[in-house]
Amino acid sequence: MKYALVTGGSRGIGKAISIKLAKMGYYVIVNYNSNKTEAENTLSTITTNSGQGEILQFDVSNIDKTHSALDKWRDANTDKHISIIVNNAGFSSDILMVWMEKNTWDNVINTSLNGFFNVTQHLLTEMIVNKFGRIINIVSLSGVKGLPGQANYSAAKAGVIGATKALAQELGKKKITVNAVAPGFITTDMTKDLPEKELKKMIPLNRFGTADEVANLVGFLASDESSYITGEVININGGLYT
């Protein structure tokens, strides 16, 4: 059995990814920061559908707490190792840069970009030793083209895209693939306050995507069928930007 860690796995896209990977037969570690109830609901859905997993609390932006939680898991599971990482944790805090406070910049960068480093770097050695791994980074349309009011979020996701391409070159010979998935407008809590009726007019497919559609793409990248794909940023945005 392969073990997968999904950061920010309790809600939205992260929840859909966790459920998808469990259906594919992976043991899923559902990371959450503060909403334990939602994490337990995600795990309940997994187990109800005959999947296996557990929840694991830590704040990806805090390197000490992240390492401590992962080390405790490793100490309790000495015969197992995490071979699939889905770096999904992140949030947006939108405001034009002219009015943006430093902490608004830092908080978004620390979660999406530094969180990617805090988790991934700490788990790389085991992947290298075992000569197998799948690292899948959930980025965003914002990181590919930039969006006004999201200079912090765009910078964070663009940083992860650059790291994805570099890390793929570092790890290819160890049979570890590194890819990024860049969703456009997806129906989740993060987009519930957006003017969907107006925005979907900009999308060739004329609708928002679903979390399950993103999860299906992540499932493919986690599978053996994707073994010759690495260093890629795959857009899933209904044709809004390519």
Q: What is the CATH number of the domain that holds 140?
A: 3.40.50.720
CB atoms within 10 A of CB 206: 10
d(CA 200, CA 94): 20
Residues 6+ apart with CB under 8 A from 89: 7, 8, 14, 31, 33, 60, 111, 112, 115
Domains: count for the chain: 1
Tell me, yes or no, whether 26 lies in a domain.
Answer: yes
Residue 226 lies in a domain: yes
**Cα 238 from chain centroid (whole Å):** 19
pLDDT along the chain (242 residues), means of 10: 96 97 98 96 96 98 98 96 96 94 97 98 97 97 93 97 98 97 87 77 92 97 97 96 72
pLDDT at 242: 65
* Residue 117: domain span: 3-236
Q: What distance separates the 2 farthest-apart alpha carbons in the chain?
A: 52
28 in helix, strand or coil?
strand
56 neighbors 33 (Cβ within 8 angstroms): no
Report pTM. 0.95
Q: Is residue 140 part of a domain?
A: yes
For residue 165, the model assigns a pLDDT of 98
- Alpha-carbon distance of 19 to 50, in angstroms, equals 11
pLDDT at 196: 76
Structure tokens at 150: 């999201």
| Residues known to be catalytic | 153
Q: Give Cα 28 to chain centroid, integer Å.
A: 13
Which residues make beta-bridge pairs with 209? Answer: 186
Q: Is residue 242 part of a domain?
A: no
Distance CA 2, CA 83 (A): 6
Whether 212 maps to a domain, the answer reads yes
Number of helical H runs and strand E runs in the chain? 9, 7
Is there a domain that residue 105 lies in?
Answer: yes
Comparing CA positions, the residue from 90, 82, 77, 165 lying closest to residue 122 is 82
